[in-house]
């Protein structure tokens, strides 16, 4: 098994990893996650009856903004040139799955950007529907965000 180490740790604390000597590579990462909601909430979203507005369009914009701002949220994450972001939602009777694909040409990866986009997209959905998800005690017994993961990471060498 390959010897692995935590690259951000040094003898004096932490540092931002030097990537200057790495070659530029075309990189893509795809992440997904899901938010579980009540069936009635899903119907409100599908019918466009959520008072705060179009839930999925707003969540798409939020996910894209999150991708672009990942280095401001994750302390040791490099700023990278994002060349494309795709955000898709799959709606079922009891959950919405978010999928975010991020592309860049650079010296370090895009997986943190993809999972940040998924996370913020799902949080935006929750925020927009929280008034109908709350029970009589102001709690969220049916609402959860889960299964956030990177499902694909790809590097393509440049010619």
Catalytically active residues are 127
Cα(24)–Cα(86) distance, rounded to whole angstroms?
22
Q: Would you tell me how many other CB atoms lie within 10 Å of the CB of residue 158? A: 8
Maximum Cα–Cα distance across the chain? 61
39 within 8 A of 93, measured Cβ to Cβ: yes
Within a 10 A sphere around the Cβ of 120, how many other Cβ atoms?
A: 22
């Amino acid at each position: 098994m390959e010897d692995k180490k935590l690259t951000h740790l040094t003898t004096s604390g932490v540092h931002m990893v030097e990537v200057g000597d790495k070659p530029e590579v075309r990189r893509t990462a795809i992440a997904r996650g899901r938010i579980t909601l009540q069936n009635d909430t899903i119907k409100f979203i599908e019918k466009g009856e959520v008072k705060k507005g179009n839930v999925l369009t707003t969540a798409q914009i939020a996910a894209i903004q999150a991708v672009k701002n990942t280095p401001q949220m994750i302390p040791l994450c490099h700023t990278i040139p994002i060349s494309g972001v795709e955000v898709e939602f799959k709606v079922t009777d009891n959950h919405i799955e978010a999928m975010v694909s991020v592309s860049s040409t650079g010296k370090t990866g895009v997986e943190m950007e993809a999972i940040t986009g998924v996370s913020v997209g799902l949080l935006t959905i929750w925020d927009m529907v929280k008034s109908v998800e709350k029970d009589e005690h102001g709690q969220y017994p049916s609402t959860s965000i889960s299964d956030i993961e990177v499902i694909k990471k790809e590097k393509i060498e440049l010619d």
